[in-house]
Structure 1
Amino acid sequence: MKTHTLVGLFKNNGIRLLAAGTLLVSLSNVSSAQNAPRGASLSKAEASRASAAEQNKYTFIMFWKDQDTTTKSMWSTLQQNLSDKNTASVVAVNTGDPQERKIIEQYGVSRAPMPLTLAVAPNGAVTGSYVKQINADYIQQAFVSPAKSQCMLNLQSRRMVLLCVSPSGQAGVPKGVQNFKSIPCYKNAVEVINVSQSEPAERDFLNELRVPASQNSAVVFMAPPGVMVGKYNSSVSSQQLIAELKKAGKSCGVEGCKHCK
């Protein structure tokens, strides 16, 4: 099966699924920071992000350097579209503020064009990245389904994903997926995510993945930095998954997997 990238799937989010380039260089650290213990010393932006995550809200972080027209316009758009919603918080971060150095380094934005807004899901996944311009449509597209945000977070954290799509009212992980996950050199480099066809919130995501509602079950295999390894039915074997992964090239894109046999 020919592999392809997931760029098209996530292009509407203003960001590729993966943590490539100067942005998003340490998302695993970002997600850990969101789970910092109470009482930990947090900056204003970190505290806003942590509070939003606790309330299952998104955080839109606008990084800026100069208070120019572009910066003011982006901030105004964020305020107009999010200030009266209970789904997200908005915070501005001056990249010259030493108190916000940690969050600036975590997202790797110190050399990025400004202003830059990142949309961060409650689980820590960056679901949107917008440079200099943002509008209501972009903001709305940053809100993704729970399964999609889980996939994005794992791929951004350099982990493979096996998305197991089950029929309505059923659950379970196919035997081949279980066997693949049990292989020592893969078990810590792959996340198994379950999603049901009966979840209305996931229908758009499954459509993007081209998993039709008529298909009873499916296994969607994804690897960083943004490779769709393949789609299979529930009878897929671990040997088949390994073979397809190796055909994808450069093993799984995760350090250590290149040594798997």
Structure 2
Amino acid sequence: MMTPSILRLFKVNGIRLLAAGTLLSSLTTVSMAEEVPRVAALSRAESSRATASQQNKYTFIMFYKDQDDATKSMWNTLSQNLNGKKETTSFVAVNTNDPKEQKIIEEYGVSRAPMPLTLAVAPNGAITGSFVKQINDDYIQQAFVSPTKARCMLNLQSRKMVLLCVNPGGNTGVPAGVQAFKAVPCYKDVVEVVTVDRSAPGEGDFLKELEVPASQESSIVFMAPPGVMIGQYSGQVTSQQLIAELKKAGKSCGVEGCKHCKE
């Protein structure tokens, strides 16, 4: 059984990672919130996901091949858990042998994955959970993440670095060092700057997960795909420090497009 593939902190050789899971690291995601195709051109599963995104809902997509006991059990668990959450979720089953659903099957790269498989998709398109063979109520609940966590996950899954700026209440600015890093030509298109108010409702668990210290100062969390925690810094960090830390991590920039950056 695969446990839920959501961002988790752990250490490997002293390096803190944000694990998106073995399966998730191979998936391609599309932000449905940014562009929703015409519903008439969509399959049933795509239409369900697009409608959910427009309504700021999560979509749970169960992929299956056979109507075996594992498939029936997973679908029953999803139905029992999510039928009472229709204001925040939708769920749909996809037979991987259905020619009408091949586009979404290819999009997530699940044609050869163990079945049944359920993916939890946030309204912005981020995959916040993957469940193989079995699922339970706790796993489903863990797939619901804060808006900031969903933004970070989507960018990491889209092979972008993330500079998360955790600001004290009322401060929406971006530190000068982060702005300077974002302005470097070979980094600007492969890094996303995300800001969050330290006291924002619903974000406390995510900041605790990242081990962001309680402070009245800004904190910067630097992440690279597939889920490497490059480091955590104060708001006074410089672009030179961020570049040095990135190179020290041994990944150059960790994403396509800046591997040969000479900055």
Length-normalised TM-score, structure 2: 0.90
Corresponding residue for residue 94 of structure 1: 95
Corresponding residue for residue 9 of structure 2: none
**Structure 1 stretches lacking a partner, 5+ long:** 8-14
SS, match of residue 202 in structure 2: helix
Corresponding residue for residue 146 of structure 2: 145
Corresponding residue for residue 16 of structure 2: 4
- Deviations along 1:172-201, whole A, 9 cap, x unmatched? 000000000001110000000000011121
| Superposition deviation, residue 40 in structure 1 | 5.1
1:34·1:46 contact (CA, 8 Å) conserved in 2? no
Alignment of 1:1-261 (within 5 A): 3-7=15-19, 15-16=20-21, 19-21=24-26, 24=27, 26-27=28-29, 30-31=30-31, 35-39=35-39, 41-85=41-85, 86-261=87-262
- Deviations along 1:124-179, whole A, 9 cap, x unmatched? 00000000110000000000000000000000000000000000121100000000
Corresponding residue for residue 11 of structure 1: none
Q: Which has the higher helix share?
A: 1
Aligned length: 248
| Superposition deviation, residue 17 in structure 1 | 8.8
Q: How far apart in 1 are the matches of 2:255 and 2:189?
A: 10
Q: How far apart in 1 are the matches of 2:201 and 2:32?
A: 30
Change (3 A) 1:19 1:102: same
Change (3 A) 1:17 1:40: farther
Identity level (%): 71
2:166·2:219 contact (CA, 8 Å) conserved in 1? yes
| Superposition deviation, residue 216 in structure 1 | 2.5
Q: How far apart in 2 are the matches of 1:32 and 1:260?
A: 31
Change (3 A) 1:73 1:19: closer
Length-normalised TM-score, structure 1: 0.91
SS, match of residue 198 in structure 1: coil
Q: Supply the RMSD in Å over aligned alpha carbons.
A: 1.6
